[in-house]
Structures are given as C-alpha cells and as structure tokens.
C-alpha cells in the first residue's frame, strides 16, 4: 500500500484526504438520491426554488479555476515561479468569485425564508453545498500557501486538493440542481 | 530494559491490573444482579455498581496508557524520562483520587456538595476535587513526557502518542462545563466521551500498536510510520464529525442525523486499517520474537477492535436504525466488545510485551498468558453475541411491538443468564492473566523438540 501512495503526485497524505472526502460527498449524494425516492414530488417542488443558471455559471468559474491550477503545476515543474504564482492567484480569484455567487444564492434562499428545516431536500442542499463551499474556502488558503512555497511537489499537492473540490462540484451540480 | 526510568511503567501496570480485577469482579456482580435483581440492592444499588464498573475501567485503561508511555518513550526518544519523581507523584495523585471516588460513591458522602459530592453525569460522576486532581496529574504527566520527547529523538510514534495524550487531557476540561440546558449538557459531555474513545484514544492505540509491531516483527520503521499516519488521518477525519451519531435524539438540529450517519460509518475504516496493518506487518516481518503472547494480544486487539468498535458500532450507527435500537442491549454488546478489543487488549498487549523486561525475566509463561487470552476473549465475544441477540429481541418487543420495558426485560432472562456465564469466563481469564504476568518464574511447558535451537 505504501508503495502505491508514493507513486501519486504531491504529498501522499493528500490522497488519503481526497479519497475520504469523495467517500463523504458520495455518501451524501447517495443519501439524497435515496431520500428523493421517498417523496419525488416534494423534492422536485423544493428543487424548483434553486437558481440553476447561477450554479451553471459557478461550474464554469470553478472548472476554469481548476484549469489555471493545472497550468500552475506545469509552470512549477518547469521552474517558472513567476508564471506559477500568477496562475495560482488567478485560480484563487476565481475561487473567490465562486464563493460570492454561492453567497448570493444563500442570501436569496434566506430572503425567501428557506432554511435547513424547510424540507429534507434543503437539509441536503445546505449540508452538501455548505461543506463544499467550506472546502473552496480552505482550498483558496491552501493555494495561497503553495504559491509562496518554492517546491513543485507542494503545488502538485495543492492542485490535487483543488481538483477534488472541482470534481465534487461537478458531481453535486447535476444531482442537487438538475436531476428531478 | 535499556533505560532505568522505564521501571516507572511497572508501578502503573500493577495499579492498572489491580483495578482491572476490581472492574471485572464488579461486572460479574452486575451480571448477577441482572438475573437476580434484588441481589445487594439495599447495600450497593445497581447504579453505584455501574459507576464503579465503568469508572474503574476508564481509570485502569488510562493508567495503562500512562504506563505504556513511560515504557516506550525512553526507547523511542533514546533518553531517560525527564523526572522519575514527578511520574510517581502523578500516580499517587491518581490513586488517591480513585480511592476518594470509590469511597464517595459507595457511601454517597457529601451529597450535593459543590466540591466533595459526586456529580450526576454518567461516566463523569467524579466529585470536583477529584476532577481537579486528574487535571493536575495530567499536567504533570504532559510536562514530564513532553520534556522527555523534546530533548530526545522525535519519531512518528512519539508524535502521535503525544498528540493523542495532549488531546485527551485538553478534552477532559469539558468535564468541568455543565450547562443547565440538558441538550447542551449532553452535547459537551460527548466532547469528552466520544472524542476520547473515537478520537484521541485511537491515536494512542495506533501509536502503541505501531511500537509493538516495530518491536515484534522487525519491519522497517519507515513502513510502520507511513501506515501510522494514514490510520491517524482516517481516524480523525471520521471520528471528529462522527460525534454527530450521538446527536440524533438529544435536541440538536436534524442535520446531525446525516452528518453523524455518514462520518461515523467511515469510522470503520481506521479500525480496518489497523487490523490490516497488524497482519501485514506480521506477514512481512522477518523477526521471530520470542514473546509470542504479546503478538497474540496485539493481533487480537486489532481484530476484536475492528469487530467490536467497527462492525458492531456500524450496526447501530445509522440514524434510521438507531431510532429503534437506541439504548437497548445492542449498545451494551457494542460497548463491551469495543472497549475490550480496542483498549483492554491493547493494554494487555503492551503489558505482556513490557513485563518480561520490567521484571528482568525471559519471556515466560506464554502458555498461561495465551490461555488467558483465549479464555477472556471467548468470554467477551460470547457475551457480545448473547447481548446482540438480547438487544434484537428487545428492540422488536419494546420498540416495534410497544411492550413495557420491564415486561421485555423478563423475557430476556435466558440471555442474561448466558451473559453471566460469559462473565465468569472473563473474570477467570483476567485473574489468570494477572497471575501469568506476575507470579511464575518458569515456563509451564518446555518448548517442543521440533522447534529449532536458537
């Protein structure tokens, strides 16, 4: 097992975290889908309150940010520190844009009087997107940290985490916002 | 024994094992009260027996951890313990507190007194003066071991052990915070109870197991450390938010049901990893260590912890299941196998490993020690099965059919009798273990001729 971990890019412990995160979000999405079966009409009605266009825009924002992080890894590997930093700051800025759009979404829900307890769908909505947003915030801090460090392995580690945040969103978006 | 101060562990292990004997004997009495409820009811009511049973368990396990730390830290950091005197002072304070607790509980002294009377919270019933004593003892301990590690070699094992012990001591501070709102009271109560056994204690367990694997199998330290970090990461990732599986029905918001269900389900992973770790190390290891009994306990620990804490915990951790099983004998089944597998076996493993060095004898009485492993473990496993059946029947009769609690208890009598029988096996096993590590100086059975000469 330890040899397998060593072959992965970046810090091996990051991959332990990534697998754990995917298990948690996967279980959450599975639970949401299972609960949806018990009350399809209620879940569809609740889901209709979501702002799909904003979430689609956020998908574009986050995937673009992931692309910048991937380019930053290449820059780090070829020793172009300045380019790496610019790309990472770009990725972080798009992360902030994601959070701003997300914040507006939450504010709109709150204005409509929707909270955790309104419907089981919203319990999952807030848990899944809230946990995800917390990871975006943590990822921004992590990218900032690896932007300062001169070690390409650190950039690989930070980008691996950031891609996980990306991947989770790409899974959340259809299950939470689109599928009826 | 390479370092003189490792001897401190002997005193800790001796007190721990004495309390272990008290704990299982009281457990046996309680098993009898279950079938003959009037037994001792005027003299020592069941709730007092239960406090003594659970508190003595926790105290002896902690004393075992302290002893283990004093034993393995000198070898790992390659220097003597900072202060021998402080270590014995710490033990003295803990023994005094323990005696104070027992006397206070038995005679219900100073009822309602702020400082001297017992507090009514389950497991944290200790009077405030004892709690303060525990904090002082913990501070002395942390100072002593941290000074040792800081001045010596730092290894993954010492780092994780110290992280676990520091976390354990800091979380105990929540025992002093007792809000009058019952939901909040319970919420903080779990910060001690859950984050101990499913958080910091797991770190202690992983590091002691790693130390034993290193010594017993001779596998490279690098390999052991990598496993250790993965196990610890998995334990903290799942265990911290896994606290949510105690927040289903205490008045906390409903989202805890999903957080608790999902994260606590993942708590199986570190226990599975510890079991895999132990077996892989033994397969990979080239060293044929003479202390086979310690290896048996270490492997037994990893295996029974996986089943008791992992599988039996998962059985009733999902909130949809727990809605029916909460507080039934299923909980008792899980509690007994989890504590036995994870923490009792762990302590007995390190004691079995350390005792020959501490007493200056060869690994001796493998046969009696191993017999005690099989006797005690069969007892606890049988007890777990019996209680699981009892809990299943109880859940159905009480929670599904809606029968009265006491009427259901009457129908469970056959299970409680079998549990009492299992308890006798556990007590005999425990006494045999204590005898085997302290008394005999020669092996009972000479090694067979088939074994190659060393």
Q: Do B254 and A116 touch (CB under 8 A)?
A: yes
Residue B246 has pLDDT above 50, yes or no: yes
Number of domains in chain B: 1
Pick from B362, B346, B361: nearest CA to B294:
B346
Element of type H or E holding B163 = helix B156-172
The nearest CA of chain B is from the CA of A82 a distance in Å of 34
Pick from B217, B192, B210: nearest CA to B270:
B210
CA distances from B43 to B29, B39, B47 (A): 13, 9, 12
Contacts of B267 in chain A (CB under 8 A): none
* CA–CA gap between residue B339 and residue A118 (Å, rounded): 40
Q: Does residue B314 fall inside a structural domain?
A: no
- Mean pLDDT across chain A: 95
The nearest CA of chain A is from the CA of B224 a distance in Å of 10
DSSP secondary structure letters along B18-33: HHHHHHHHHHHHHHHH
Q: Does residue B94 fall inside a structural domain?
A: yes
pLDDT of residue B454: 47
Element of type H or E holding A171 = helix A152-172
Contacts of B266 in chain A (CB under 8 A): 20, 23-24
- Mean pLDDT across chain B: 95
pTM for this model (two decimals): 0.94
DSSP tag of B266? T
CA-based torsion, B326, B330, B333, B338: positive or negative: negative
Contacts of B269 in chain A (CB under 8 A): 20
Q: Angle at the Cα of A37 (from A35 to A42), degrees rounded to 5?
A: 80
| Spatial contact of B404 and B325, defined as CB atoms under 8 Å apart | no
A61 CB contacts (<8 Å, ≥6 apart)?
A94, A97, A98, A101
pLDDT tens for each residue of A122-164 = 999 999 999 999 999 999 999 999 999 999 999 999 999 999 9
| Longest pairwise C-alpha distance within chain A | 55
Phi, psi (5° rounding) for residue B328? -95, -175
The nearest CA of chain B is from the CA of A40 a distance in Å of 19
The tokens of B425 are what? 């096996």
Interface list for B 203-222 with A (CB within 8 A):
none
Residue B453 has pLDDT above 60, yes or no: no
* CA–CA gap between residue A177 and residue A121 (Å, rounded): 11
Q: Do B255 and A23 touch (CB under 8 A)?
A: no
Mean pLDDT of A36-63: 96
Neighbours of B432 (CB within 10 A): 17
CA distances from B205 to B292, B371, B377 (A): 20, 23, 18
Q: Do B227 and A2 touch (CB under 8 A)?
A: yes
Of all residues in chain B, the one with the smallest CA distance to A32 is B258
Element of type H or E holding A48 = none
Going by pLDDT thresholds of 50, 70 and 90, the confidence category of residue B325 is very high
| Spatial contact of B349 and B305, defined as CB atoms under 8 Å apart | no
B112 CB contacts (<8 Å, ≥6 apart)?
none
Contacts of B263 in chain A (CB under 8 A): 24
| Dihedral angle computed from the Cα positions of residues B445, B446, B449 and B450, in that order, rounded to the nearest 10 degrees | 50
The tokens of A139 are what? 């990822």
DSSP tag of B95? H
* CA–CA gap between residue B235 and residue B243 (Å, rounded): 12
Show the domain range for B54: 1-153
Q: Indicate the CATH number of A18-178 among 1.10.3720.10, 1.10.357.140, 1.20.120.80, 3.40.50.880.
A: 1.20.120.80
Q: Do B233 and A20 touch (CB under 8 A)?
A: yes
* CA–CA gap between residue A95 and residue A91 (Å, rounded): 6
| Spatial contact of B327 and B248, defined as CB atoms under 8 Å apart | no
Q: Does residue B360 fall inside a structural domain?
A: no
Size of interface A-B (CB pairs under 8 A): 47
Q: Do B255 and A116 touch (CB under 8 A)?
A: yes
The nearest CA of chain A is from the CA of B231 a distance in Å of 10
The tokens of A128 are what? 């899944």
Q: Do B258 and A2 touch (CB under 8 A)?
A: no
Q: Do A5 and B226 touch (CB under 8 A)?
A: yes
Burial zone of B212 (CB within 10 Å; 0-12 exposed, 13-18 middle, 19+ buried): buried
Q: Do B254 and A1 touch (CB under 8 A)?
A: no
Going by pLDDT thresholds of 50, 70 and 90, the confidence category of residue B256 is very high
pLDDT tens for each residue of B135-149 = 999 999 999 999 999
Q: Do B259 and A2 touch (CB under 8 A)?
A: no
Interface list for B 246-285 with A (CB within 8 A):
253-255, 258-259, 261-263, 265-266, 269, 280
pLDDT tens for each residue of B327-381 = 999 999 999 999 999 999 999 999 999 999 999 887 777 899 999 999 999 999 9
CA distances from B373 to A104, B10, B282, B295, B366 (A): 61, 21, 19, 11, 10
Q: Do A1 and B223 touch (CB under 8 A)?
A: no
CA-based torsion, B191, B192, B197, B203: positive or negative: positive
Chosen from A20, A123, A125, A128 to mutate, greatest number of chain B CBs within 10 A: A20
Going by pLDDT thresholds of 50, 70 and 90, the confidence category of residue B452 is low
Half-sphere exposure of B315 (CA within 13 A, CB side): 25
Neighbours of B85 (CB within 10 A): 8
B237 touches A at CB < 8 Å: yes
* CA–CA gap between residue A131 and residue B241 (Å, rounded): 12
Contacts of A117 in chain B (CB under 8 A): 253-254
Report the residue from A5, A20, A116 with minimal CB separation from B234. Answer: A20
Going by pLDDT thresholds of 50, 70 and 90, the confidence category of residue B52 is very high
- Burial string for A138-164 (b: 16+ CB within 10 Å, else e) reads ebbebbeebbeeeebebbbbbbbbbbb
Interface list for B 279-318 with A (CB within 8 A):
280
ipTM for the predicted complex:
0.93
Residues in chain A: 180
Boundaries of every domain in chain A:
18-178
Q: Do B254 and A13 touch (CB under 8 A)?
A: no
| Spatial contact of A46 and A131, defined as CB atoms under 8 Å apart | no
* CA–CA gap between residue B219 and residue B76 (Å, rounded): 15
pLDDT tens for each residue of B296-318 = 999 999 999 999 999 999 999 99
Using DSSP, state whether B290 is helix, strand or coil: coil
pLDDT tens for each residue of B75-122 = 999 999 999 999 999 999 999 999 999 999 999 899 889 899 998 888
Pick from B74, B129, B70: nearest CA to B104:
B129
Residue B445 has pLDDT above 80, yes or no: no
Element of type H or E holding B7 = none
pLDDT of residue B105: 93
CA-based torsion, B28, B111, B103, B19: positive or negative: positive
């Amino acid at each position: 097992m330890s040899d397998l971990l060593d072959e992965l890019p970046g810090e091996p412990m990051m991959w332990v975290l990534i697998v754990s995160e995917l298990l948690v979000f996967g279980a959450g999405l599975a639970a949401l889908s299972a609960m949806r079966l018990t009350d399809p009409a209620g879940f569809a009605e609740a889901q209709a309150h979501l702002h799909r266009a904003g979430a689609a825009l956020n998908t574009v924002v986050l995937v673009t940010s992931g692309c910048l992080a991937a380019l930053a890894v290449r820059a780090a590997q070829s020793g172009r520190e300045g380019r790496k930093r610019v790309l990472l700051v770009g990725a972080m800025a798009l992360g902030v844009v994601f959070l701003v759009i997300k914040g507006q979404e939450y504010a709109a829900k709150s204005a409509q009087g929707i909270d955790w307890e309104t419907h089981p769908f919203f319990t999952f909505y807030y848990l899944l997107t809230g946990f995800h947003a917390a990871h975006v915030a943590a990822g921004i801090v992590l990218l900032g940290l690896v932007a300062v460090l001169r070690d390409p392995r650190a950039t690989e580690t930070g980008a691996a985490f950031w891609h996980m945040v990306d991947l989770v969103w790409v899974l959340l978006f259809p299950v939470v916002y689109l599928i009826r | 024994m390479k370092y003189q101060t490792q001897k401190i562990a002997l005193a800790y292990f001796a007190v721990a094992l004495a309390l272990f004997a008290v704990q299982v004997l009281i457990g046996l009495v309680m098993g009898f009260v279950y079938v003959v409820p009037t037994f001792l009811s005027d003299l020592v009511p069941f709730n007092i027996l239960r406090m003594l049973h659970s508190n003595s368990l926790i105290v002896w396990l902690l004393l075992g951890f302290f002893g283990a730390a004093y034993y393995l830290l000198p070898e790992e950091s390659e220097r003597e313990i900072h202060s021998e005197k402080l270590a014995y002072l710490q033990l003295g304070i803990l023994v005094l507190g323990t005696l104070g607790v027992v006397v206070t509980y038995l005679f219900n002294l100073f009822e309602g007194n702020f400082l001297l009377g017992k507090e009514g919270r389950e497991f944290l019933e200790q009077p405030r003066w004892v709690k303060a004593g525990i904090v002082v003892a913990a501070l002395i301990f942390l100072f002593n071991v941290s000074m040792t590690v800081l001045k010596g070699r730092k290894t993954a094992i010492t780092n994780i052990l110290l992280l676990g012990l520091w976390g354990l001591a800091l979380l105990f501070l929540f025992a002093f915070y007792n809000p009058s709102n019952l939901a909040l009271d319970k919420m903080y109560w779990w910060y001690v109870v859950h984050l101990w056994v499913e958080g910091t204690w797991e770190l202690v367990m992983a590091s002691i197991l790693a130390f034993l694997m290193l010594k017993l199998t001779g596998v490279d330290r690098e390999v052991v450390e990598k496993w250790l970090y993965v196990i610890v990461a998995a334990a903290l990732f799942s265990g911290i938010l896994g606290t949510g599986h105690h927040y289903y029905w205490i008045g906390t918001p409903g989202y805890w049901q999903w957080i608790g269900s999902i994260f606590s389900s993942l708590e199986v992973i570190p226990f599975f990893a510890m079991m895999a770790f132990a077996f892989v190390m033994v397969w990979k290891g080239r060293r044929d260590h003479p202390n086979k009994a310690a290896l048996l306990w270490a492997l037994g620990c990893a295996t029974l912890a996986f089943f008791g804490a992992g599988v039996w915990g998962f059985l009733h951790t999902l909130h949809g299941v727990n809605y029916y099983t909460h507080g039934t004998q299923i909980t008792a089944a899980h509690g007994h196998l989890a504590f036995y597998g994870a923490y009792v076996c762990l302590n007995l493993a390190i004691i079995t490993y350390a005792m020959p060095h501490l007493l200056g004898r060869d690994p001796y009485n493998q046969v009696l020690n191993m017999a005690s492993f099989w006797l005690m473990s069969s007892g606890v496993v049988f007890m777990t099965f019996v209680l699981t059946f009892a809990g299943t029947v109880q859940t159905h009769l009480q929670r599904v059919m809606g029968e009265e609690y006491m009427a259901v208890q009457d129908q469970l009598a056959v299970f409680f009798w079998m549990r009492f029988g299992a308890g006798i096996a556990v007590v005999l096993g425990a006494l045999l273990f204590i005898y085997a590590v302290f008394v005999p100086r020669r092996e009972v059975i000479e090694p067979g001729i088939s074994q190659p000469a060393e």
